[in-house]
A and B are shown apart, each in its own frame.
Chain A
Amino acid sequence: MFKYVIRRIIQMVPVFLGVTLILFILRAPGVLPGDPVRLITGEKAISETLYQEIVEKHGLDQPLHVQYVRYLKGLTEGDLGTSYQKSRPVSDILLDKFPNTMRLAAVAILLEIIIGIAAGIISAVKRYSLLDVLVTLSTSILVSVPVFWLGMLMQVVFGIWFKRWGIPYLPISGMSSSDFPDWVHLILPAITLASVSTAYVARIMRSQMLEVMGQDYIRTAHAKGLSERAVIRRHALKNALIPVVTFIGIDLGVMMSGAILTETVFNWPGVGLEIFLAIGTRDWPIVTGGVVIIVLLVMIINLLVDISYAFLDPRIRYGGPAQ
């Protein structure tokens, strides 16, 4: 197990280097529009000396590979570069925003796990019932609706119309205001961010439960005299959960891209909104810095998911010869 983890961490190095290389090439002059120096100084006219000073300070006159090594060296020291617009270290800017994104993502993941798995189980156990039809129908709709559109729809319904009709309404923008406690601001963005994933989890959980319930060992469990409830809880659930955990693991990465849309729609001051705004102002250090953080996060989560298999499925044992 320990060997396996070490091996996986070593495998992460080339992946990470590949990602940084792609990101670095995107930052190189001529690949993306705009002269970096002009992006730093803005529209103001500047003198030739100042221009040269900026070029030298950022190493823009060096050959590309030297710049890349310099960039990598910076990364190992936690230096993600300096924002063109804000003249602040990117790492400081992202560190400010990161907890906000994490808070939103954590609530969304909780919703995804609790609602998705519960809906899937109920739907499978009460197959062809009204509840099952509702779950199947609503999940089909949710997986085909774009996240930003769902977010805007919810803003209109729960924020604007509810307010107009005099029904208790929900805040639709930002993280705090004088009208609501802070946590209420989380409701709509978290539901929006969780929606597609929850629908997928419910569908996978349903099909997995149905498959597992048809297995011979479920018949064995019934033959032992276990109640239906105990058969589902003790024998079916653990087996059905294995692929669901895989999906949730992969989905955490997808959720990061969902966070960019959700945070933009709800004006939620997280990493996603920061990246979105930075794209608009061509503040490439923030964009690439944000992506580096997300990539690191996804790689670590995937490793944790793979390790968790060993606890869920005894047929998987890492790091030793097959028995």
Chain B
Amino acid sequence: MSKLLEVTDLRTHFFTRDGVVKAVDGVSFSLDYGQTLAIVGESGSGKSVTAMSIMGLIPDPPGKIVEGDILFKGDSMLAMEPAEVRKLRGDRIAMIFQDPMTSLNPVYRVGHQIGESLRIHRGMTKREAFDRAVELLDLVGIPNPRERAKDYPHQFSGGMRQRAMIAMALSCDPDILIADEPTTALDVTIQAQILELMIELQDRTGTAIIMITHDLGVVADMADDVMVMYAGKPVEFGTADEVFYKPLHPYTWGLLDSLPRHDVSEKGTLEPIQGQPPSLIRVPRGCSFHPRCPYARVKCVKEVPELVPVEGGHASGCHFSVDPSFRKGEAAVCREVV
């Protein structure tokens, strides 16, 4: 049986006046029914563009999927007619976005917006869709759902709007839910509530989730697999335990070190990754992380590393990950290049 979703060597480039932006440049992963994959990386690492490519929502021009394929239940989504992709979108594959304050249309009632997918994909009448929207609002924990469904988005708080977005995304019982930084714009207390809600709903509905975030803390409890992205490429792939406890790539080490942890308070300071993410028009030669990597050697400048399995399915895109002594906390800082 084919996988629920399979992405192979996806390359999404944007052709701009300043040059070609290689926003996604060789991403592969697969997702099983009911599984949660977290895609982690800094801003501009290609996480969101990967998600938008799967949704078929890359603005063309300037964007284009130049290589690779996206298979949904074995069928290539890139080979489908736009109308067929549209039928999957919002029905089988749904998405929630980062900023719930602006992701709802201000001039329509919340219940109407939640019911809209049901009307297009399920052919429900206005009344049926509204009734179902009320049930969904109840499911995501909005009190007085029947009254609140008649409210406009500006009458909802940020956390409630994100709950409404989740209700909207789950309305057609999708196979895949793509969550693009769903908690980034929310208060910390609300963040935890929204994550709990997503975990709870996943248990109930069995939806597979692609969780996009720059916050490793967010994915720790949720993810089965984690893909770390840097400059449009995956640099590490493994189970959540592998990536958290036995990280292979120096970039992942940096991400983990820059995570605030309350259990190691005596250490006191956070270790940020030096430098800035590279321009995706002029990606550094060799390993794109080498200008910021404290372990960079001559080889890193000369050769582009491949993402290769190191232990079982745990893969790393670093030349030196195969060396068992090159591990977090053990590798000696020996920057050879300037």
A227, A314, A323, most chain B CB atoms within 10 A: A314
Partner of A217, one of B88, B95, B105, B120: B105
B45 is an interface residue with CB less than 8 A from chain A: no
- Tell me which of B96-104, B206-214, B273-281 binds A: B96-104
Docked CA distance A217–B88 (Å): 19
| Contact of B106 with A239 in the complex, beta carbons under 8 Å | yes
Collect the chain B residues with CB atoms within 8 Å of residue A323's CB. Answer: 155
Task: Collect the chain A residues with CB atoms within 8 Å of residue B168's CB.
Answer: 220, 224
Closest residue of B by beta carbon distance from A226: B120
Contact assessment for A220 and B97 in the assembled complex, using a CB-CB cutoff below 8 Å: yes
> Which single residue of chain B is at the shortest CB-CB distance from A220?
B103
B259 part of interface (Cβ distance < 8 Å): no
Evaluate contact between B107 and A224: CB separation under 8 angstroms.
no
Q: Are A224 and B89 in contact (CB under 8 A)?
A: yes
User: Beyond A225-B117, A314-B154: 9 further Cβ-contacts under 8 Å?
Assistant: A216-B103, A223-B95, A224-B90, A225-B120, A225-B121, A226-B90, A235-B108, A313-B107, A323-B155
Interface centre among A217, A220, A225, A226 (most CB of B within 10 A): A225
Chain A residues 181-239 with CB under 8 Å of chain B are 215-217, 219-227, 230, 235, 238-239
Measured CB to CB, the nearest residue on chain A to B117 is A224
A3 adjacent to chain B (CB < 8 Å): no
Tell me the residues in window 81-129 of chain B with beta carbons closer than 8 Å to chain A beta carbons. Answer: 83, 86-91, 94-95, 97, 99, 102-109, 116-117, 120-121
Are B102 and A217 within 8 A (Cβ)? yes
- The SS class assigned to the A binding surface is helix
Query: In the assembly, what is the distance between CA of A224 and CA of B109, in Å?
Result: 16
* Cβ–Cβ < 8 Å partners of B109 in chain A: 314
- The answer to whether B87 touches A225 (Cβ under 8 A) is yes
**Roughly how many angstroms separate A283 CA and B265 CA in the complex, as a whole number?**
90
Q: Which of A221, A223, A238, A314 has the most CB of B within 10 A?
A: A223
Distance in angstroms from B10 CB to nearest chain A CB is 19
B76 → chain A closest CB, angstroms: 18
CA distance A203 to B87 in the complex (A): 35
A227 to B116, CA, bound (A): 12
Find chain B residues with CB under 8 A from A315 CB: 106, 152, 154
Contact A227-B86, Cβ < 8 Å, known A222-B57, A315-B152, A323-B155: yes
Q: Does A312 count as interface, using CB distance less than 8 angstroms?
A: yes
Q: Inside 8 A of B165's CB, which chain A residues have their CB?
A: 220
B179 to chain A, nearest CB (A): 12
Q: Are A235 and B105 in contact (CB under 8 A)?
A: yes
10 closest A-B pairs by CB: A225-B90, A224-B90, A225-B89, A216-B102, A217-B105, A314-B152, A216-B103, A223-B95, A224-B117, A220-B103
CB-CB < 8 A to A225: which residues of B?
86-91, 117, 120-121
- Interchain CB contact under 8 A, B57 and A223: yes
Chain A residues, Cβ within 8 Å of B106: 217, 239, 313-315
Tell whether, in the assembled complex, residue B120 and residue A224 are in contact, meaning their CB atoms are under 8 Å apart: yes
List of A residues within 8 angstroms of B152 by Cβ: 314-315
B263 CB, min distance to chain A CBs, angstroms? 37
Answer whether residue B240 sits at the interface, using C-beta atoms and an 8 A cutoff.
no
**CB<8 Å pairs between A and B, sample of 16:** A216-B97, A219-B103, A220-B104, A220-B105, A220-B165, A222-B55, A222-B57, A222-B89, A223-B89, A223-B90, A224-B168, A225-B87, A225-B117, A226-B116, A235-B105, A314-B154
State A313–B94 Cα separation when bound (angstroms).
28
Tell me which residues from 270 to 323 in chain A have a Cβ below 8 Å from any Cβ of chain B: 312-315, 323
Measured between beta carbons, the chain B residues less than 8 angstroms from A222 are 55, 57, 89
Residues in A whose Cβ lies below 8 Å from that of B94: 223-224
A225 to B99: give the CA distance in the assembly, Å.
19
User: B95 contacts which chain A residues (CB < 8 A)?
Assistant: 223
Interface size class of A (residues with CB under 8 A): 20 to 34
Give CA–CA (A226, B108) in the complex, Å. Answer: 15
- On A, residues with C-beta under 8 Å from B are 215-217, 219-227, 230, 235, 238-239, 312-315, 323
Binding site for A on B (CB under 8 A): 55, 57, 83, 86-91, 94-95, 97, 99, 102-109, 116-117, 120-121, 152, 154-155, 165, 168
> Are B89's CB and A219's CB within 8 A?
no
Bound form: Cα–Cα A219–B120 in Å: 16
Q: Is the CB of B86 within 8 A of A216?
A: no
Chain A residues with CB below 8 A from B104, complex form: 217, 220
Which of B97, B108, B116, B154 contacts A219, CB < 8 Å? B97
Considering only CB atoms, which chain B residue lies closest to A218 in the complex? B105
Return chain A residues, CB-CB under 8 Å to B83.
Answer: 227
Residues of B within 8 A of A230 (CB): 120
B-side contacts of A223, CB under 8 Å: 55, 57, 89-90, 94-95, 97
Query: How far apart are the CA atoms of A85 and B97 in the complex, in Å?
Result: 71
In the complex, what residues of A have CB within 8 A of residue B97's CB?
A: 216, 219-220, 223
Min CB distance, B184 to chain A, in Å? Answer: 13
A226 to B87, CA, bound (A): 9
Contact A216 B99 (CB under 8 A): yes
A239–B108 alpha-carbon span in the complex (Å): 10
Chain B proximity of A16: nearest CB distance (Å) = 34
Contacts of B117 in A (CB 8 A): 224-225
Closest to A227 in B: B86
Complex interface: chain B residues within 8 A of A220 (CB): 97, 103-105, 165, 168
Cα A257 to Cα B18 with chains together (Å): 48
Most buried by A among B83, B102, B103, B109: B103
* Distance A101 CA – B103 CA, assembled complex (angstroms): 46
